Structure 1
Amino acid sequence: MSVRFRPLSSLLLAAALAAVPAAVASPAAAAPSPYRVGVGIADITGEAAELGMLGYADPAQTTAGIHTRQWSRAFAIAAGPAKVALVSTDLDFVSQSVHTEVVRRLAGTGYTATNLVLTATHTHSAPAGYTHSTLYNLTTLGFEKRTFEAIVAGIVRSVRAADADLAPGAVKIAAGTLAGANVNRSLPAFQRNSAADRARFPGAVDNRMTVLRFEQAGTPVGMMSWFPTHGTSMRPDNRLISGDNKGYAAQHTEHSHGVTWSTRGAFVAAFAQTAAGDMSPNLRDGGAAGPTDDQFENTRIIGDLQATAAQRLFDAATEELTGPLDVRQRYVDFSGVQVRLPDGSVKSTCPGALGQNFTAGAEDGPGPDIVDEGDLTTNPLLLAAGIVVNPATPAVRACHAPKQVFLATGLQNPPWTPQVMPLQVVRIGQLAVTVAPGEFTIVAGQKTQDAVAAALGGITRHQILAGYANAYAGYVTTAEEYDAQHYEGAATHFGRYTQAAYAQELAALAAALRTGAATPSAVQPPWLGDRQISVRPGIVFDAPPVGKAFGQVLTQPAASYRRGQTVTVAFATGHPGNNFRNEGTFLEVQRQVAGAWRTVATDDDWSTKYRWARNGLAASTATIEWAVPADAAPGTYRIVHHGDAKSLLGRVAPLTGTSRTFTVS
């Protein structure tokens, strides 16, 4: 998927058996005018210990450290009075709650729900709890205010930074292909599509990549790449926060452009998702296994493929986007959209519901052995569980057929999953970006883009579908794929005609953009911030191991290492939840240069891993690993740990520990 609710279904089964202002059209530039562009980046890392992760929905997958931090990367474009911000975040998806609060905090900046695009890379190795939707907060035992705050505040900082950075420049575009970075993990469903639809995707994959090159006065300052592959290179047993393959691609690209810890933001690279619903980075066994048996290496391989392809396109980008900036946006209640099909018949979407086969999971995140993908028979156990936990009416069951409804998430008050969804079409000169709050399969995404392109009537030449954006309500499959009721179809929330409804409503926005018509919203998503609860125990206090002090080194490094070896140091520490250290770090690898210590790596570097573990009631250990890079400079090094500890009286104080020195040769 995306949000993988296999183990989640086990939780539900066990339990059962035992305001945003109305958006208005943004002003369009009266005539083509030079663009001003700006870039920004900010840290959005959530709690790094004992917090459930979002994506695989396994309650056992809780954070226990950091491999790479989470970032919000923003790109602002302005032409005359019009402007738009494209943002890529290292999240599983952007929640409506995050989008609403970010818009609220950006009041007065010129960025609103209309011209702000918040997308997610779809990593499955990042903290959860930042939504207001009950279903998505189950693995965190409720809403996590501090992680929500870290995400919202960071996104706002990145957008403000990009806006402040606006300067005369250019946006250039290039498109190409990348082979070997994705496979179709849902072939039986894909093969149900028409021969014409299948023919558009040889090998049953979408290998297209689009890259935007941002320049200021001829100097490159940013890159934004779109390519469809899931953020599932890291497996469900991973407990380190990670940006997954797209996070690696972004970090690698920024470093290749000379960005260091101290110069972050000098060049910003984002790797965003398109229609990745059935695209997996796990190249073996139909999406079940990565290219190797090492999940970190798999993440690097798929990330490096994207980074290399994107850099090639970036270097070749010569076509400059020129002309109007314009946007249309509207909220639509997808619980009952009347959809007119090509044959003239009218069908309807349904209140949100998940099918029994969504508990089977996908190939790269299988669920409990209760049902199999594609099984259209009623499972008595799941039927009973659904009736107890989240019952569906006969009308809703009929509307979702042939889906066997497990959870009627749209019938609760408030709904367990969103139903009022944000839709957006953005024009940047000859580029149209279609923005939607779900994960489209490649054929569903193409059909939707075709509808938008037709409605635009040729005013743009390039098309991108930006998924996982502004809110989230599961998958979007074609009607043919839906009928197969594999994981993706069972997790298509609004029934068989979900894709047709998205295509219809987004095409209406595109037509309004072409004609200059306004697109007011008749509905608004509810604000549920005042209804959130959390039953997860908080941090009571920290205590060092008996006979030790906070920051004391428990395991020292060896005296010397060679390139390619791994340095490991352990410290007595406090709980990382005391201070997320956003825009900072829990570790530094330092090299001695001319008698002073220079930081060469932090907890955001690919070469480092920060692992946290609880030892008893209140004691905990920070274990820091540094895989000495092949290009590490010979010399004298040390490892520094930064943390925070909470006293019995509730006071949080910083702590620092420093290892003995060692040499690298």
Structure 2
Amino acid sequence: MTLLRFMDGASGKNIGAFSWFATHGTSISRDNKLISRDNKGVAARLFEDIAFPENALLRRSTRTKMTNTRLRDFVQGKNFRRKYKFIENFYQNILSEIFHQKFLTDLFFPTLSIQIIKLGKLIILSVPRDFFTKFRTMVGRRLREALNETLISSSNGEFNNETHVVIVGLTNTYSQYITTFEEYVASTLYGPHTLSTYIQEFKKLARAMVEGINFPLKGPSPPDLSSIQISLLLGPFVDSPPESLKLVDIKEYIFFPKEGYFTKGDTPGATFWSANLRYDLLIEGTFVAVERLQGERWIVVYDDDDLSLFFKWKVDNSSYQGLTTIEWEIPNEAVSGVYKLKHFGETRIIILSPIS
């Protein structure tokens, strides 16, 4: 694991951190129906809560190199060759020149961007690959070793054995696998020499950086294909709860104790009629919040970024209307007080009417 820490020069106080650690970004199974940050997001959030409990000015858990964590068996099963030949012919048809010319644009980018960022003796390589499953362990090792060797040999003592190279994937674009020549397989779009090409170009950048050479003008930018993207997902229509009801009317309380109040470890919640969430994904906001009464004001203490708060949306099979379920597992650090659950979102009552 690599940790880059930021400190206030005057006070010596930690103000932020970047971390790179080689683990798969997700480990929950496909049966999970919740949108979850999984282990990298959870690690970043817990780190933020511990290191910066009052005000996290800067915290980021970065994507880095790794291999796939899934266990696979080695048995092909019966008639595997017949299945292979079928799928081989199927893909030959889809990827044929005629199909490509009539129906598709380029299947992958002819131009890719790479970058090197230098912070003292920390060298960050920006590569347009998914390092969770598409960047093999030996690939990362060879790339880092090649860059270390180039930096040390090309510099006048600026870089030495303390130079540390980290790799950041999914940078600028996405271009599938990188494998070694020996491991060449699957979706390595640019052929068996992909790794050699990356090493060659990164070494050019590294030498230009340490020698102070102005690198030639950048090459052509990848094409902008946003205007020809195809989506098979229909947009939401209108929101209307069952007759005589309105949005946010309660359908059922999940749990309410006989004592009349909740304690730590309880899970208060409710299910109510709700609008479709796709009108506004609230990227910079939250779909749900737990608010605590403080004096005469309600303040947000938990939102859908917290591990204790669960937000679920589904379509009711009997009415085809939206139902939202909110559950809050009261954590041990919760302060005694008066709380409420609050839902945020947009709705459309009539087709073509404004979203509000």
Under TM normalisation by the shorter chain, which class is it? 0.7 to 0.9
User: In the alignment, residue 334 of structure 2 is paired with which amino acid?
Assistant: A
Separation of aligned partners in 2, 1:578 and 1:369: 46
Who wins on radius of gyration, i.e. which is larger?
Answer: 2
Q: 1:581 Cα shift?
A: 2.3
Corresponding position: 1:451 with 2:146: yes
Q: Could you say what secondary structure the match of 1:270 adopts?
A: strand
- Deviations along 1:260-308, one digit per CA (max 9) or x if unpaired, are 6xx5xx43221112211x142xxxxxx33xxxxxxxxxxxxxxxxxxxx
User: In the alignment, residue 545 of structure 1 is paired with which amino acid?
Assistant: P
Separation of aligned partners in 2, 1:411 and 1:453: 46
Separation of aligned partners in 1, 2:120 and 2:251: 58
- Deviations along 1:149-187, one digit per CA (max 9) or x if unpaired, are xxxxxxxxxxxxxxxxxxxxxxxxxxxxxxxxxxxxxxx
Corresponding position: 1:622 with 2:324: yes
**Normalized against structure 1, the TM-score is what?**
0.47
User: In the alignment, residue 391 of structure 1 is paired with which amino acid?
Assistant: S
User: In the alignment, residue 501 of structure 1 is paired with which amino acid?
Assistant: T
Match of 2:173 among 446, 471, 483: 471
Match of 2:60 among 270, 273, 278: 270
1:215–1:637 distance in 2 versus 1, CA, 3 Å: same
Kept in 2: contact 1:571–1:641 (CA 8 A)? no
Corresponding position: 1:442 with 2:137: yes
Q: Which residue of 2 aligns with 1:602?
A: 303
Q: 1:574 Cα shift?
A: 0.3
Q: Which residue of 2 aligns with 1:253?
A: 47
Instruction: Please state which structure has a larger fraction of its residues in strand.
Output: 1
Separation of aligned partners in 2, 1:611 and 1:480: 46
Structure 2: gaps spanning 5 or more residues: none
**Normalized against structure 2, the TM-score is what?**
0.84
Q: What does residue range 106-505 of structure 1 map to in structure 2 within 5 Å?
A: 209-217=1-9, 218-259=12-53, 266-276=56-66, 278-280=67-69, 287-288=70-71, 363=72, 379-391=84-96, 414-438=105-129, 439=131, 440-456=135-151, 457=153, 459-460=158-159, 461-482=163-184, 489-505=185-201
User: In the alignment, residue 65 of structure 2 is paired with which amino acid?
Assistant: A
- Deviations along 1:527-557, one digit per CA (max 9) or x if unpaired, are 2122223232111111012321111122234
Q: 1:437 Cα shift?
A: 0.9
Q: 1:392 Cα shift?
A: 7.2
Q: Could you say what secondary structure the match of 1:490 adopts?
A: coil
Corresponding position: 1:570 with 2:271: yes
Separation of aligned partners in 2, 1:618 and 1:543: 9
Separation of aligned partners in 1, 2:92 and 2:182: 28
Q: Could you say what secondary structure the match of 2:114 adopts?
A: strand
Kept in 1: contact 2:237–2:351 (CA 8 A)? no
Separation of aligned partners in 1, 2:116 and 2:218: 14
Kept in 2: contact 1:570–1:621 (CA 8 A)? yes
Kept in 2: contact 1:592–1:598 (CA 8 A)? yes
User: In the alignment, residue 239 of structure 2 is paired with which amino acid?
Assistant: D
Q: Could you say what secondary structure the match of 2:286 adopts?
A: coil
Q: Which residue of 1 aligns with 2:289?
A: 588
1:411–1:652 distance in 2 versus 1, CA, 3 Å: closer
Separation of aligned partners in 2, 1:652 and 1:531: 26
Q: Which residue of 2 aligns with 1:646?
A: 348
- Deviations along 1:179-232, one digit per CA (max 9) or x if unpaired, are xxxxxxxxxxxxxxxxxxxxxxxxxxxxxx111111233332210001111112
Separation of aligned partners in 1, 2:349 and 2:210: 61
User: In the alignment, residue 304 of structure 2 is paired with which amino acid?
Assistant: D
Q: Alignment RMSD, CA only?
A: 3.0
Q: Could you say what secondary structure the match of 1:539 adopts?
A: coil
- Deviations along 1:489-513, one digit per CA (max 9) or x if unpaired, are 3122222111111111111111111
Separation of aligned partners in 1, 2:204 and 2:190: 19
1:421–1:548 distance in 2 versus 1, CA, 3 Å: same
Separation of aligned partners in 2, 1:514 and 1:560: 65
Separation of aligned partners in 1, 2:225 and 2:119: 33
User: In the alignment, residue 242 of structure 1 is paired with which amino acid?
Assistant: S
Separation of aligned partners in 1, 2:77 and 2:101: 26
Kept in 2: contact 1:410–1:418 (CA 8 A)? no
Corresponding position: 1:637 with 2:332: no
Kept in 1: contact 2:65–2:169 (CA 8 A)? yes
- Flag the structure with more relative contact order, 1 or 2, with Cα contacts below 8 A and sequence separation at least 6: 1
Separation of aligned partners in 2, 1:574 and 1:615: 12
- Deviations along 1:357-386, one digit per CA (max 9) or x if unpaired, are xxxxxx49x9x98998xx9x9921111211
Kept in 2: contact 1:257–1:267 (CA 8 A)? no
Structure 1: gaps spanning 5 or more residues: 1-208, 281-286, 289-362, 394-407, 483-488, 655-665
Q: 1:583 Cα shift?
A: 2.5
Q: Could you say what secondary structure the match of 2:347 adopts?
A: strand
Separation of aligned partners in 2, 1:409 and 1:429: 47
Separation of aligned partners in 1, 2:355 and 2:233: 23
- Deviations along 1:427-454, one digit per CA (max 9) or x if unpaired, are 1222211111113211101101122222
Q: 1:627 Cα shift?
A: 1.1
Separation of aligned partners in 2, 1:597 and 1:268: 26
Q: 1:593 Cα shift?
A: 3.4
1:527–1:369 distance in 2 versus 1, CA, 3 Å: farther
Match of 1:551 among 248, 260, 264: 248
Kept in 1: contact 2:17–2:58 (CA 8 A)? yes
Kept in 1: contact 2:124–2:165 (CA 8 A)? yes
